[in-house]
Amino acid sequence: MTDDGNPTLEAPTPEAPMLEAPMLEAKGISKFFPGTIALDDVELTLHRGEIHALLGENGAGKSTLIKCLTGVYRRDGGEIMLDGEAVDPLSTHHSQTLGIGTVYQEVNLLPNLTVAENLYLGRQPMRGPFVARRAMNAAARISLKSFGIDIDPTQPLSAFSVAIQQVVAIARAVELSGKVLILDEPTASLDREEVELLFSVIRQLTSRGIAIVFITHFIDQVFEICDRATILRNGQVVGTRQLKDVSQKDIVSLMLGRQLEARVRAPKSNVVGKTLLEIDGLRKTGMLEAFSLKLREREVVGLAGLLGSGRTETANLIFGAVRADHGAMKLRGHEIRINNPRNAVAHGFALCPEDRKTEGIVGDLSVRDNIILALQARQGWMRPIPRRKVEEIAQHYVRTLDIRLANLDMPVRLLSGGNQQKAILARWLATDPDFLILDEPTRGIDIGAHAEIIALINRLREDGMALLVASSEMEELVAYATRVIVMRDRRQVGELTGDEITSNNIIHAIAAEPMVEPAS
Amino acid sequence: MTRHQFIRRITPQLIILGVVLALNFLVFHDFFKIEFQNGRLFGNVIDVLNRGAPTALLCVGMTLVIATKGIDLSVGAIMAIAGATAASLIVDGHNWVSALMGALAVGALCGVWNGFLVAFLRIQPIVATLVLMVAGRGIAQLITEGTILTFLDEGLIHLGAGTVLGIPTPVLIWLFLGGAVAFFVRRTALGMLIESIGINEASSRLAGINSRVLLLCVYVVSGIGAAVAGVIVAADIQGADANNAGLWLELDAILAVVIGGNSLLGGRFSIVASLLGAMIIQSVNSVILLSGMPPEFNLVIKALLILAILVIQSPKVGHLIYILRASAPPPEVKQTTPVKDVN
Amino acid sequence: MIRTTHLPLIVTLLTFVLAYALCASQYPSMFSLRVIANLLTDNAFLGIVAVGMTFVILSGGIDLSVGSVIAFTGVFLAVILRDSSIHPLFAFGLVLIITTAFGAAMGATIHYLEMPAFIVTLAGMFLARGAAYVLSTDSVPITHEFYDMLQSVYWKTASGGRFRLIGGVMILTFIVGALVAHRTRFGQNVYALGGDASTSRLMGVPVASTTVGIYAISGGLAGLSGIVFSLYTSAGYSLATVGVELDAIAAVVIGGTLLTGGYGFVAGTFFGILIMGLIQTYIVFDGSLSSWWTKIVIGGLLFAFILLQKGLTWASTARKKAATGFNTPS
């Protein structure tokens, strides 16, 4: 499609790619949110013509950093040098005009407009009071051809695949900005061929001297296309590496960290109860390849994997939040069908979703109502739980889970992240489930609540519950899982049991390298 | 909700109502005078209660619909259809009970239609209910065959113009139905589940709430309320006027809900506050009438009322107030639960 | 090549052609220039206001105030021409300024206070209707030689049809509206807003000025429609044109514009108006059918087009999902 790095192509930036003067230098960037430090003294340097990976798990600070660079957030500290000059982006639009363009996973273009209209929105060639459509369409065609795609720009954007839409978004960003291009998870919803197309476009951009920030959770893609990588964890830079010098495993362990390992490893009783749930060949096209699991009582199965590996999808499919294409489930030996969350709840399932705010809490309802919501929904609206019973249940969980609040009548959205998580846990515990699915139960909560939730998981298991916990925190999985299923590319790729469960082994399995050290 | 909270919730509406009633008193000193003549109570206050009945009946269902983040534009048209149904059943020789039942059934059917479009076809409420709003009056005229269908059935007329124990029937009907629904949704878990859907449908679905059926139900309640209002209006004039019955009353009903302090974005609701809102609207009408101000000002005042309430409700203005207050220290969140180790 | 974005427009056109053919086959006299001329004259005011409504709906909004603004304009003109000696042209200018400013004020309220268009324009509806009441509750006749002059301007065809001035004004409005919507930067911004307001903002669309502009256009065209209506009826009456906003919305939707915004054509609205006019004409021709059938048929058409649009949206999202897979991050 394209001749990669063909020097005859017109480059909007005349300078040849040079490594001496960085295109962008961000120094000491800090950003505080109430109660948390989102970015702590972060450094990022981009050279001309470089493809620089920005890596980290959710909540590591990637998107906050990008938002500071593109003017969505005002940074609380540090300075940004662009092309040798100090800049201060005030809005996305401003940062675009400065020279920093961004392309997101959900293409930030308008599907109802044509390709050409999208490319030139706000800067259309004019003839008198009217848009010179013919000139605009011709220019769009030429521009896109220079990226190696030849399409009819008068078609609506929605007529094209996501990959083409991405290229259109890149073309717009490059023409508008032309110095730094930030690609935020551009490949998350592309298939292999589309990724190839996108990569050829990206490589070609480097020959124009543009510095590219590439954010992804596909580690192999990082090694395929990037020159360097900066890894963030908990709002701090944990390292910047030349990728040709390091292995995938080095990067993964930097991302996940494993300092805590020795500390939290708790002795686990091996008493495992009888089989509770058998899942056979659960799958849905584009979300999850056949997933099978045999789960027993008194067992905590961990789901490990990087972002996008299919952890959340697995949880949602089991719970019926998304309807599966295929898959059989047996509960205590009896065939069951789960088509929606209501079925799941009726069978004694419970799910604490990953996205607490949009799928977990019901923000404006009181903490009390949030706690009894699932139990009440299961009982049906005709049989209200008596007020005294409600009070009793709510008080009970506030006490046992140590939910910190002013009173039970306060809206749950006013609680801190950790306490919101506990309230959702309380909601499900109140239904007395046999099987509890937790999706990233400790994300974005403070360290104290973190430890409490880990302790709670262990206690629930000892009380006889079966749990499935999806998490990106290795130490955490080591602390409570009796078994760990490793996911990659929406597929089960391995299983660790007993003493095999160490951060190291999990990281190896995720990074798809042979296990080196059996844990002792 | 405890009694204390309940009173605090409706305090603003009570204050506004009090002010408007006081204005009524200022322009007409006999406003609060109630007389008992010919076995019936007379007085301006009774008039306010009586004239406000259709809006009050509509705002009950509308409150629930709006609590789910929806809106029902078709209630005025449903009133016309229900009135026409009742009148034509009477004219066909049925008794007033079956006429009433027929009207209610038609109202419920209209609600099912709206609810089906919203809950199952996932059409935005404003669009979905627009269909019936446009076509509804035509359907009503189809039933009345274009005439104002008059009737003389005592039973039906009693619903609109009669009295029970000296109190006009419409007043008793809206007080009873409004009170019953308000009581019912709070005594069962319905109210909380409806609020939950309006605040966060995704979370509610994951918590196992059957959101589709509940959505359907609130539109049915709205349809039935509109049908009752339609029958009352028809009974009052002893005829079904397909063109003018309930004309623009959907807007009054929405206004009553908004005055009742319920957010148009869904969530927490209070039917009692909405009913007070309906009475506030009627009292404003009464002030304009009694003050001798030309009734033409009615709409202008209503418009200004909406604007004032909207500005207060606006998220932007709320944010501004928040910023202004931020100079003062935020209310302390007290930790009343003992801090205790979970292990 | 037929694109899905054009499909509703094509369906509208087919509906119109089919409906007209049906009518003409039953009443051959309906296929005459006279009927067409009357169709244009009788629906002129509705057509003009529907152009404004098209802009509003394309941007994802709604304007419930237009019917009241038309009534206000009529009463304003009637009263000012009765009580003063200013020239009607000057009065036209004045009322257009008032209604445009009124629309702009609603647009500004919607944008700056972040309030739903539906409720803001509802307040506007009460306000304009109330203002009309305050001016006069009675129907005020307009008698002015300039009005007589304007009303006598028509082009007579051989068959006796009279194309009047107001029909021409409507067609001109449609042409200008189509040019603005499809050929100017402002028009593109309107479509952009209807596609996705926050994305538009990110792409540098001036959201504030576009929103204000859209409602100003709608208000201004409602004013123009009011002028045309006063020419049509020779009077100003504060109870006139009740519910015209619903007719305008129906015409826009039947014209193939998506009620959620972003897709549609001004030309489609023109055919939407013609379809609605045709239904009325047919009922008049038939004589035995009652007028309420108009409302029912329009309601049915509205529903059919809403379903069609919903179906298209479903089809396109289903296709996209099949093409890309589900892409929630885990």
ipTM: 0.83
Asked if A298 reaches chain B (Cβ–Cβ under 8 Å), the answer is no
Phi and psi at A167, nearest 5°, equal: -65, -40
Task: Provide the 8-state DSSP code for A151.
Answer: -
Burial of A263 (0-12, 13-18, 19+ CB in 10 A): exposed
Report domain extents, chain C. 4-317
How far apart are alpha carbons C171 and C179 in whole angstroms?
12
**A232 contacts: CB under 8 Å, gap ≥ 6:** A42, A54, A55, A56, A60, A61, A62, A65, A238
Contacts of B142 in chain C (CB under 8 A): 290, 292-293, 296
Q: A367 to chain B: which residues are within 8 Å by CB?
A: none
Q: Is A160 helix (H, G, I), strand (E, B) or coil?
A: coil
Distance of CA C236 to the CA centre of its chain: 20
Domain count, chain B: 1
Distance CA C154, CA C156 (A): 6
Nearest to C324 among A122, A189, A217 (CB): A189
Task: For residue B164, tell me if it sits in a domain.
Answer: yes
| Interchain CB distance below 8 Å, B146 and C134 | no
C326–A112 CB contact, under 8 Å = no
pLDDT of A265 strictly over 70: no
- β partners of residue A131: A126
The alpha carbons of chain C give a radius of gyration, in whole angstroms, of 21
Backbone phi and psi for residue B106, each to the nearest 5 degrees, phi listed first: -65, -40
**B194's tokens:** 């409806």
Provide the number of CB pairs (under 8 Å) joining chain A to chain C: 106
Residue numbers in C near B114 (CB within 8 A) = none
Min mean pLDDT across A49-53, A78-82, A106-110, A349-353 is at A106-110
Residues in chain C: 330
Q: Could you tell me what percent of chain A has a pLDDT over 90?
A: 9
Which chains contact C through at least 3 pairs of Cβ atoms less than 8 Å apart?
Answer: A, B
Helix, strand counts (H, E) of chain A: 17, 22
Question: Contact B317/C113, CB-based, under 8 Å?
Answer: yes
Question: What CATH code would you report for C4-317?
Answer: 1.10.3470
Report the residue of chain A nearest B191, measured CA to CA: A381
What pLDDT score does A257 carry?
A: 67
Token look-up 């262990």 returns A458
Placement of tokens 């369409």 in the chain: A137
In whole angstroms, give the CA distance from residue A504 to residue C245.
Answer: 67
Give the C-alpha separation, C272 to B260, whole Å: 39
Provide the 3-class DSSP secondary structure of residue C235.
Answer: strand
CB contact under 8 A, B189 and A360: no
Please say if the pLDDT value at position B240 is more than 50. yes
The residue-averaged pLDDT of B298-322 equals 72
CA distance B192 to chain A (A): 7
What Cα–Cα distance (Å) separates residue B219 from each residue in B213, B226, C65? 10, 10, 26
Whether residue B39 is predicted with pLDDT greater than 80 in this model: the reply is no
Q: Select the residue of C194, C199, C329 nearest A308 (Cβ to Cβ).
A: C329
Beta strand pairing call for A130-131 and A126-127? antiparallel
- Are A376 and B193 within 8 A, CB to CB? yes
Contact C326 A313 (CB under 8 A): yes
Task: Nearest by CB to A342, from B187, B210, B267: name it.
Answer: B210
| Cα–Cα distance for residue pair B188/B183, rounded to 1 Å | 8
Q: pLDDT tens for residues A227-251?
A: 999 998 888 898 898 988 888 878 8
- Cβ contacts of residue A149 below 8 Å, gap of 6+? A1, A164, A167, A197, A201
Task: Collect all residues with Cβ–Cβ distance below 8 Å to C145 and sequence separation of at least 6.
Answer: none
Q: Do C328 and A312 touch (CB under 8 A)?
A: yes
Helix, strand, coil distribution of chain A in percent, nearest 5: 35, 25, 40
Are B127 and C295 inside 8 Å of each other by CB?
Answer: no
Q: What CA–CA distance (Å, rounded) separates C308 from C291? A: 26
Q: Which residues contact B333 (CB under 8 A, 6 or more apart)?
A: A405, A406, A410, A414
Look at residue C80 in the predicted model and tell me its pLDDT.
92
Sign for the CA dihedral angle at A376, A379, A383, A389 comes to negative
Is the Cβ of C2 closer than 8 Å to some Cβ of chain A? no
Tell me which residue of C92, C107, C79 sits closest to C212, measured CA to CA: C107
Mutual angle of helices B53-67 and B211-237, in 10-degree steps: 170
Identity (one letter) of the amino acid at B111? Answer: G
Q: Do B132 and C62 touch (CB under 8 A)?
A: no
pLDDT beyond 50 at A503:
yes
Name the pLDDT band for B179 (thresholds 50, 70, 90): very high
Residue B335 in any domain: the answer is no
Look at B303 and C295 and tell me if their CB atoms are within 8 Å.
no
Which positions in chain C touch B121 (Cβ < 8 Å)? 307, 310
pLDDT above 70: residue A1: no
| Contact flag A121-C192 (C-beta cutoff 8 Å) | yes
The answer to whether B202 and B40 have CB atoms below 8 angstroms apart is no
Give the C-alpha separation, A17 to A31, whole Å: 32
Amino acid at A107: V
Chain B residues closer than 8 Å to C308 by CB: none
Q: Kindly report, residue by residue over A153-200, the tens digit of the pLDDT.
A: 988 888 888 888 888 988 888 888 788 999 988 877 677 778 888 888
Structural domain including B67 reads: 12-293
B195–A365 C-beta distance less than 8 A: yes
pLDDT at C328: 34
Q: Pinpoint the alpha helices (H) of chain C.
A: 7-26, 33-42, 44-58, 66-83, 88-112, 117-135, 145-151, 165-183, 185-195, 197-202, 207-233, 244-254, 266-286, 292-324
pLDDT value of position B301 = 80
Q: Mark residue A281 as left, alpha or beta (left: phi above 0; alpha: psi -120 to 50; beta: remaining).
A: left
Show Cβ contacts of residue B48 under 8 Å, excluding neighbours closer than 6 positions.
B279, B282, B283, B286
Instruction: Decide: helix, strand or coil at residue A292.
Output: strand
A373, A389, A415, A420: which to substitute to probe chain B, counting the most B Cβ within 10 Å?
A373
Q: Who contacts C113 (Cβ-Cβ below 8 Å, separation ≥6)? A: B310, B311, B314, B316, B317, C120
User: A42 to chain C, minimum CA–CA distance in Å?
Assistant: 25
Average pLDDT over residues B129-138: 86
* Chain B residues in contact with chain A using a Cβ-Cβ cutoff of 8 Å: 5, 187-190, 192-193, 195-196, 199-200, 202-210, 214, 267-268, 333-340, 342-343
**DSSP result, B89-130:** HHHTT--HHHHHHHHHHHHHHHHHHHHIIIIIS---HHHHHH
According to DSSP, residue A356 is labeled: I
Q: How far apart are CA B134 and CA C296, in angstroms?
A: 8
Is B224 contained in some domain? Answer: yes
Report field, pTM of the whole predicted structure over 0.90: no
Cα–Cα distance measured from residue A338 to residue C323, given in angstroms and rounded to the nearest whole number: 26
Q: Please name the residue of chain A whose CA is at the shortest distance from the CA of residue C199.
A: A108
pLDDT at A279 over 50: yes
- State the greatest distance between any 2 C-alpha atoms of chain A, in Å, as a whole number: 81
Smallest Cα–Cα separation from A50: which of A245, A198, A226?
A226
Confidence of residue A18 (pLDDT cuts 50, 70, 90): very low
Chain B interface includes A351 (CB < 8 A):
yes
CA dist A474 and A263 (Å) reads: 13
Distance from CA of C216 to the nearest CA of A (A): 19
Put simply, whether A441 touches B (Cβ < 8 Å) is no
Residue C180 forms contact with A (CB below 8 Å): no
B309 lies in a domain? no
- Work out the pLDDT band at B317, boundaries 50, 70, 90: low
For chain B, the residue count is 343
Tell me the domains of chain A and their CATH numbers.
24-110+161-256 (3.40.50.300), 113-155 (no CATH), 261-510 (3.40.50.300)
Chains contacting A (3 or more CB pairs within 8 Å) = B, C
Residue B129 exposed, middle or buried by CB count within 10 Å (0-12, 13-18, 19+): buried
A382/B333 Cβ within 8 A: no
**B213: in domain:** yes
Are the C-beta atoms of residues B280 and B265 closer than 8 Å to each other?
no
If one compares A419 and C213, the residue with the highest pLDDT of the two is C213
**What are the average pLDDT values for consecutive 10-residue runs of chain C, which has 330 residues?**
72 88 84 84 93 95 93 94 90 95 95 85 88 88 85 77 85 94 93 90 88 96 95 88 87 88 91 90 80 82 83 68 39
Name every residue whose Cβ is closer than 8 Å to that of residue C43 and which is 6 or more positions away in sequence. Answer: C170, C273, C274, C276, C277
B94-110 pLDDT tens trace = 888 899 999 999 999 99
Bridge partners (DSSP) of residue A127 are: A130
Say what the pLDDT of residue B337 is.
Answer: 39
Q: How many CB atoms sit inside 10 A of residue B35's CB?
A: 10
* DSSP state letter for A227: S
Pick from A305, A310, A306: which is nearest to A285 by CA? A310
The mean predicted confidence, pLDDT, of chain B is: 84
Residue of A nearest to C324 (CA): A189
pLDDT at A22 over 80: yes
DSSP symbol at A357: I
Select from C5, C199, C327 the Cβ nearest to the Cβ of A109. C199
Rounded Cα distance, B252 and B255, in Å: 5
| Planar angle of CA A135, A136, A141, nearest 5 degrees | 100
Contacting residues for B189 by C-beta, under 8 A, at least 6 apart: A376, A379, A380, A381, A383, A384, A385
Which helix (H) or strand (E) segment holds residue B300: the answer is helix B297-313
Q: Which of B195, B339, B340, B342 to mutate to test the interface with A (most CBs of A within 10 A)?
A: B342
Give chain C's contact residues with B (Cβ, < 8 Å).
62, 109, 112-116, 118-120, 122-127, 129-131, 133-134, 137, 238, 242, 246, 249-250, 259-260, 290-300, 302-303, 306-307, 310
